[in-house]
Amino acid sequence: MKTLIIGCGNPDRADDGAGLLVARQLRALGLDAREHRGDMLSLFYSWAGYDQVIIIDAMVSGAPIGSVVVLDARDAELPRQQFQGSTHAFGLAEVIELARSIEQLPPKLTIYGIEAANCNPGCAVSMEVTKAVEQVAGAILKALA
């Protein structure tokens, strides 16, 4: 199964960079893990030709900082209000629903959301999110084993 891992976020906005940090860890272990910092609409082109896609992104739902949610995006819509990233004009939920409507979702699409607290420019990633990054990287490794 051809698998792609995509970490989304902005490295200059503290906890919003959580997905990028997971992607970096997994890429260092030899997995096909990419960082996605730009326009969310371009995700369409990133996942073309893959059987399985795993996306990691920061979210804001009101849950405790560093909480992790795992969603099967093929089964149900993503909660738009949770994946409305502060630095994305067009959020992850909208991209996935657009792809679903035009039948462009990959055969398997899993989303890992890491609860963010601080997405202010120039701030450090919170300790809770740093721990969650380790947790998510481990969970993805286990799932792919």
Given a cut of 50, the residues of the chain with pLDDT beneath it are 86-88
Name the amino acid, one letter, at 1: M
- CATH 3.40.605.10 for the 3-144 domain, yes or no: no
Each residue's pLDDT tens digit, 47-70: 989 999 999 999 988 899 999 999
Name the amino acid, one letter, at 75: D
For residue 120, the model assigns a pLDDT of: 82
- The answer to whether the pTM exceeds 0.85 is yes
Question: Which residues, 6+ apart, have CB-to-CB distance to 118 below 8 Å?
Answer: 14, 15, 126
Identify which of 73, 63, 61, 6 has the alpha carbon closest to the alpha carbon of residue 33.
6
Say if residues 106 and 53 touch (Cβ distance below 8 Å).
yes
Structure tokens at 104: 């462009």
Q: Report the C-alpha gap between 17 and 125 in whole angstroms.
A: 8
